[in-house]
Amino acid sequence: MMKRGPQSGLEKKLSIKNLLKVVRESFDIPEPKREEKRGLVSKISIKDCLMSSFAMFSLKMQSLLAFDNASNNKIIKHNLKSLYKLEAAPSHTYMREKLDPVDPEKLRPAFLNLFEEIQRGKLLAQYVFMNGYLLAVDGTEVFESKNVFCDNCGVREHSNGIKGYYHQILAGSIIKPGLKQVIPLCPEPIVKQDGTTKNDCESNAMRRFLNHVKKEHPRLNFTIVTDALTANTPGVNFRL
């Protein structure tokens, strides 16, 4: 068996350990104000809760409860400590209560800092396509319930009169034909905006998403790849 040689500086930047370190450092945000229930003192920081939720998705857990149960598994517990730097993962109830007040905008630095590492590691150069980059954008539903809801939920009324509450998100990633890996940019939540009573929509989220892309990556030339929903006058006339 051949031994792997020492990593170069660029390889270290793009190693999973370094990228997870970048994510963790990006989660250094103020603790949200919340009332501790039953007199419990907060023992797990907001950074550890955010890192636990990130671990849940990257380990492809089906739910918060599934992650809660799996966190006691010997192998997963070891990975949480060695890779995600978690001494203890919060319970699914505690994590939900701790993260609910967090503004999604506070998570934007994690995407920007990772993108910076990708640029420094010269990985972005592999995605050049026709003197620019392909940015695939689409919306998806991430939550639906008939009983659980919040002020930001979209609402749909079914034919039987029952209301459904949902959350959607608009996600965009840099892609290139022939490459399996994609480079995600910070997604845009499709939620009711402050001061409105109507549901938000994918078209409005697309405008906000593209404005962020234009502001955060002004020197990159993008070709937007999306479905027919965006084939309208506002979408076509938008210049990135």
Please check the confidence at residue 226 and state whether its pLDDT lies above 60.
yes
- Lowest mean pLDDT across 2-6, 68-72, 142-146, 227-231: 2-6
Over residues 64-74, the mean pLDDT reads: 90
Stretch (H or E) spanning 67: helix 64-70
Q: Residue 5 pLDDT > 60, yes or no?
A: no
Share the mean pLDDT of the chain: 85
Predicted local distance difference test score (pLDDT) of residue 117? 94
Read off the pLDDT of each residue in 181-200 and give the average, rounded to a whole number: 84
Say if strands 154-157 and 183-184 run parallel, antiparallel, or are unpaired.
unpaired
Indicate the SS3 state at residue 95: helix
What phi and psi values does residue 174 have, to the nearest 5 degrees? -80, 130
Lowest mean pLDDT among 106-115, 203-212, 227-236: 227-236
Query: pTM of the prediction?
Result: 0.83
Residue 40: its pLDDT value, please? 44
The pLDDT value given to residue 62: 87
If you average pLDDT over residues 166-170, what whole number do you get?
A: 90
Beta bridge partners of 63: none
Neighbouring-strand partners of residue 225:
136
pLDDT of 39 strictly over 50: no
Q: What percent of the chain has pLDDT over 90?
A: 51
Cβ contacts of 57 within 8 Å, gap of 6 or more: none
Contact 223, 133 (CB under 8 A): yes
**pLDDT greater than 50 at residue 2:** no
The whole-number average pLDDT for the span 215-219 is 94
pLDDT tens, 141-162? Answer: 888 888 888 878 888 888 888 8
Q: Are strands 133-145 and 222-225 parallel, antiparallel or unpaired?
A: parallel
Say yes or no to pLDDT of 132 above 60.
Answer: yes
* Helices 46-58 + 16-26 axis angle, to 10: 140
What does the block give as tokens for 174? 């840099």
pLDDT (mean) for 1-17: 65
User: 101 in the Ramachandran plot: left (φ > 0), alpha (ψ -120 to 50) or beta?
Assistant: alpha
